[in-house]
Structure 1
Amino acid sequence: MIDRRTVLASSLALAACGNTAAAPAIAATPLKSIAPFPIGTCAMTGQFQDPAWVDLCLTHCSQLTPEWEMKMEYILSETGEYRWDAPDRIADFCTTHGLRLFGTTLIWYSQDSAYFRSLSGERFRTEYDRYIQTVAQRYRGRATGWDVVNEAVAENGAGLRTCLWSEALGQDGYIARAFEQAKLADPDAVLFLNDYNLENLPTKGATFLRLVERMLKAGVPIGGIGTQSHLDIEIPAGQTAAFFREAAQFGLPIHVSELDASLRSEGRIDTRSQRQKIEQQTARVAELTEAFMDLPPAQRFAFTVWGMRDTDSWLRRDARDDGKDSPLLFNAQARANPMFQAVSDAIREGV
């Protein structure tokens, strides 16, 4: 058995010195070969032209989620036309390489569509149903699951968001309707309610789980729980595991859908050393992975990291980025970060 403390201590020392080129070969075993569930990442079609990205993805992953090219802002034009070039390329890439396709997202509060803003009343409802059914039906039999509704809970966890969809169909109404339409369109896909900060903010996690409970009691066909797991590395130990125990009580499949763990500090002076930040990061990521491994096997839908290399991360596209954040499993040279070892060891020990 691998001694996690020895390998991780070596990785931490190298990371603290900035010696990523000399990192130990801790990525020799592909994650997909040791995990008894799918390992996923996100993708944009431009990455298919990058042989290093393709090699890293196919070495470690068995599932792919479109990062944004299957979202409404890509597919639906301001005048109501649909475009399929990029999402079709992603679906075809999955077919060619034997990867599971996971679809995201059918309805998202952030998709403030100009086309839907021009509609009202019965026309709005008809087009809402048509959009969900058209997209889900196109990938029926190819997409193993869908984020049907994304980020419905308010930022601070105090209730649900007000958005274009809730204004037209009601805060619970737009959610229920989306799941009903998705179920009609793709009855075999696993249908997820997905959100973020569920581990980071207990209030938000509790509101989210109450929403799941309310929907299930109303007969809404929610088939799974998606937790994005953009982890705050400073949250207290045990908080992530507590959320997973609560979420598991529904018996639904759970998807770690967008894992990353930024080293950046937001809104305060940061006196921590790089080593301290990496220790916090690996501890929180290890706890998350262990909590996922503690689920019954039938509830482990997939474990998806939101990007392959640090330089692929949405966090590195932020205007505030200083080029030093390391939120993913691999660095720019596709060498394993300490976070990789935390995930790998937790999976091995939990099997």
Structure 2
Amino acid sequence: MQKICVRQALAGQTGFHTSSDLAPLGHLLPQGEKGLSRRALLASSLALAACGQTEAAPTLAATPLKSIAPFPIGTAAMAGQFDDPAWVDLALTHVSQLTPEWEMKMEYILDRPGRYRWDAPDRIADFCTAHELRLHGHALIWYSQGADQFAGLDRPAFITGFDDYIAAVASRYRGRVVGWDVVNEAVAEDGNGLRDCHWSAVLGQDGYIARAFELAKSADPDAILFLNDYNLENNPTKGATFLRLVERLLKAGVPVGGLGTQSHLDIEIPAGQTTAFIREAAAFGLPIHVSELDASLRSDGRIDTRSRQTRLNQQTARVAELAEAFVALPAAQRYGFTVWGLRDTDSWLRRDARDDGKDSPLLFDASGRPNPMFGAVSAALS
């Protein structure tokens, strides 16, 4: 099966339409096929995936990502996944850093100001210590959480609760967390300005952000403190607003130490758009974290008559572009490259009512076999 599929690929049977849908996957070619062009190498890898991953898996999985990356490779984790031997084996094979997907967020930790729940985040921290993995803290302040816990508090109590929460969480994991997403998703959905939320209503739009960073710096002075957001590559308006916010905060002396781009990639974005954003962000000289990578094949709200293979080609090209742009950064700015889950079935995109069981937004399928997206990342790292 594998040899037949490679021949089909080299004969041009993979459905590529433009050069922007090509990504370098050369090291994935079977050993007998040498000296081929980058275009042919990519075509062979995607054809193997299209023909069936069962036989392609041993080739794609041969090299653990963490062994070829000159920077940390991360994934999101939930404490319950540590009870799944297949997940643990896959994670320890490929990644060197974990980000708690949900259990280090306020919604989990804080029952009400002053009352905390530490069981799951402690378990994640302990797992990282036991397996010598880096731990990235996510997230101290998020517009989407905290409204219920802080509801009804007067201004002094609100501010005290805000300050105490950041101090309690950041100090508890001081020395164990390498970096924190201090403020998550501060920019408005459409990119026109910042979000209005319960934090900004009391402390101001820039005010709550600056205060959170200052408190985190005091509680965990050695951690790298990140401003984290999404759709920065997908929406140039939002990316520009994010970068203006960073510039404003730095000029005000706010201790922003790193920039997190979630990279929930839209496979429809034009080629080159992701690279342009990464280069602009890099101009600040701060560490950059690709913090929540996935790339859905779904076309929510759009009529889509394209084949699955065509969408996989687009996905692979966009992910390859992101990985290559990250690899091109100066070494000191490559904080980590994190995917938001390992297997497709681990993804948040597969947990809602829209899921038809067919989306493939991550590096591995439900059985832990490499998806074409794995090849895109692996090739860029190589």
Fold conserved between structures, TM > 0.5:
yes
| Partner Cα separation in structure 2 for residue 8 and residue 85 of structure 1 | 45
State whether structure 2 residue 277 is matched by structure 1 residue 246: no
Asked if the contact 1:8/1:338 (under 8 Å) is kept, the reply is: no
**Quick check: 1:42–1:306 contact (8 Å CA) kept in 2?**
yes
How far is the alpha carbon of 1:122 from its aligned partner? 1.4
Q: Which amino acid aligns with 2:76?
A: C
Give the CA deviation at 1:268.
1.0
**Would the aligned equivalents of 1:69 and 1:87 in 2 still touch at CA under 8 Å?**
yes
1:92 is matched with 126
Counterpart position of 1:335: 369
Runs of at least 5 residues in structure 2 that lack an aligned partner in the other structure: 1-25, 30-37
Q: Which residue among 247, 260, 264 is the counterpart of 1:230?
A: 264
Structure-1 separation of matches of 2:170 and 2:89: 29
Matching residue of 2:319: 285
**Which amino acid letter does the alignment assign opposite residue 20 of structure 1?**
Q
Identity %, equivalent residues = 76
Letter in 2 for 1:21: T
Q: 2:381 aligns with which of 339, 344, 347?
A: 347
Instruction: Please tell me whether residue 195 in structure 1 is matched to residue 242 in structure 2.
Output: no
In the alignment, is residue 21 of structure 1 matched against residue 21 of structure 2?
no
Residue of structure 1 in register with 2:241 after alignment: 207
- 2:86 is the counterpart of 1:47: no
Cα deviation for residue 80 of structure 1 reads 4.2
Q: Give, as a single letter, the amino acid of the residue that structure 2 aligns with 1:163.
A: C
In the alignment, the residues of structure 2 paired with residue 79 and residue 253 of structure 1 have an alpha-carbon distance, to the nearest angstrom, of: 32
Counterpart in 2 of 1:76? Answer: 110
Corresponding residue for residue 305 of structure 2: 271
The aligned residue for residue 151 of structure 1 is 185
**Contact 2:182 2:226 (8 Å CA) reproduced:** yes
Residue matched to 1:176: 210
CA distance in 1, matches of 2:350, 2:40: 30
Q: 1:181-210 deviations in whole A, cap 9, x for unaligned?
A: 000000000000000000000000000000
1:6 Cα deviation after fit: 4.4
Residue segments in structure 1 that go unaligned for 5+ positions in a row: none
- Which of 340, 343, 347 lines up with 1:313 in the alignment? 347
Residues of 1 paired with 2:46 and 2:234: CA distance? 24
CA distance in structure 1 between the partners assigned to 2:145 and 2:175 by the alignment: 25
Residue type at the aligned position of 2:56:
A
Q: Secondary structure at the match of 1:41?
A: strand
Aligned mates of 2:166, 2:158 — CA distance in 1: 12
Distance in 1 (alpha carbons) for counterparts of 2:204 and 2:269: 33
Question: How many residues matched?
Answer: 347
After TM superposition, the runs of 4+ consecutive aligned structure 1 residues lying more than 6 A away are none
